[in-house]
Structure 1
Amino acid sequence: MMAKEYKFSEEHRRKIGEAIKGKNHPNYGKRGNKSKLGQHLSEETKKKIGNKSRGRRHSIKTKYKISEGRKGKYGLENNPNWKGGISFEPYSKEFNKQLKELIRKRDKYKCRECSIHQNNLTTKTGKSYILLIHHIDYNKLNCLPTTNLLSLCRKCHLKTNYKREYWIKHFKEMTTK
């Protein structure tokens, strides 16, 4: 036996709507869809979702809201990469354009980690850039060209921001060979 379909009056539908607004709504405070929780998606489905989202841009209003929400959240001490303010320390006077060019020339204009030539360095937007000079011991005042400085591309230089002890050991071994 099928349940009878009720036709609510306009007044009654309005009252039901008012009764379940805000905190009284059965889904108030709940997040997501529990039926989908823990469900694994196929690679094909993941690609479809990704392709659908690709190329979409946030509106200026949305970008502003995201920006406002993030302000101060990761500033200075709150940033997981915070090293006590060492980025504000000045470089020594010897660390200048001439010294940097000397290091690049010594390294034959190649990244010491991946060996890519400076002429082949480009950003995602297609702009070319020159090799960066890295301090092996991360001490900005130690500018000895033979023992503490070497040329790196951006990709390799970014890697050196993490696991510093590993990179110090790695580059010291590289320079002693």
Structure 2
Amino acid sequence: MNAFCVFAKVKDKIMQLFVANLLRVDSFKGFYHVGAEFRVSFQPSSIGFKERIVKWLKPLEGCFKLNIDSCVKNFKSSCGDIISDFKGHVIVAFEVSSNADTTIKAEIEALLFCLELCMSLCFTNVWIEIDAMLLILYIEGNSIFNSALFYMLKDIKH
């Protein structure tokens, strides 16, 4: 497969994600020229921030809550994770770096690491909050995923 075919397939996948609302205009913040290359059209007036109120909910009694967020920037990835008890007390909070080259891979690695940590701490009743809709679709089996991620997703499901 030559580079032009690879680039064409990436463009098609970007458009599929955009049309499915799994990728939004604000995903291209700082890289609007890349969005334009992928045929993502947006008006300058549509680029901006929307304020919204976010409320953190405590898990049920006897449960633990795992909040995960990852990002990749300038070819470096990191994730922040918090494990809280049902009273809202933070049990563990940390930030780790990884070698993931995509945000979805960083999210998968972070979730797998945190689940393994929860298991080592004997936390078996865990609520998970993660903002990666694509990862949720992968776990639910509602989306086709990269085969390189297969074993990590299998471990997460297990």
Q: Which has the higher strand share?
A: 2
Q: Which has the higher contact order (CA 8 A, sep 6+)?
A: 2
After TM superposition, the score normalised by the length of structure 2 is 0.25
Larger-gyration structure (1/2): 1
Q: TM-score, normalised by structure 1?
A: 0.24
